[in-house]
Amino acid sequence: MKQLQGREEKEAVRWMNEAARIARSALCLRSKCGTVIVNGGEVIGVGYNAPPLDDLAHRSCLEEPVFARKQKYDRTCCMHAEWRAITDALKRSGAKIAGAKLYFIRINDEGNIQRSGEPYCTVCSRLALDAGIGHFLLWHEDGIAEYETGEYHALSRTHLNET
């Protein structure tokens, strides 16, 4: 993990703000998240969390989870912002996804950025690895951290085992 500073941090803040703008479109009733995937200074994919196909008939965010014994990622009815952004990038640009950076952010009900916790979602990390995403970026309390996707996956697996 690398803590960003200077020009790198300034650029990351720009993309995190763009991810927050995307998150404002989220249709999930539990959490509003946004993701942008960037390669070569160009946005190649975007996503927000929402039911499949944005179909509100599939939204069950406030219902008691059926799989309460399963891990955290199973407790949502919505597609994760990361999944949608990776799918969008693959549809739009295909090969350009290799080595790209994925910026993830969560916002509160007022639309303000919330700081991220530690990596935990192995579904997102596995999909990112398989698609060829190079780095995951999260905005923690102490600044923006850039993880190589393999490292992000390993940390997610470690956290998963602790829960």
Superfamily of domain 2-162: Cytidine Deaminase, domain 2 (3.40.140.10)
pLDDT recorded at residue 159: 75
C-alpha to C-alpha distance for 58 and 23, rounded to whole angstroms = 19
Q: pLDDT in tens for each of the 163 residues of the chain?
A: 999 999 999 999 999 999 999 999 999 998 899 999 999 999 999 999 999 999 999 888 777 655 555 455 455 678 999 999 999 999 987 768 999 999 999 999 999 999 999 998 899 999 999 999 999 999 999 999 999 999 999 999 987 666 4
pLDDT recorded at residue 73: 46
C-alpha to C-alpha distance for 143 and 151, rounded to whole angstroms = 18
pLDDT recorded at residue 160: 63
Q: Are 106 and 23 in contact (CB under 8 A)?
A: yes
Rounded to two decimals, what is the model's pTM?
A: 0.91
C-alpha to C-alpha distance for 54 and 125, rounded to whole angstroms = 23
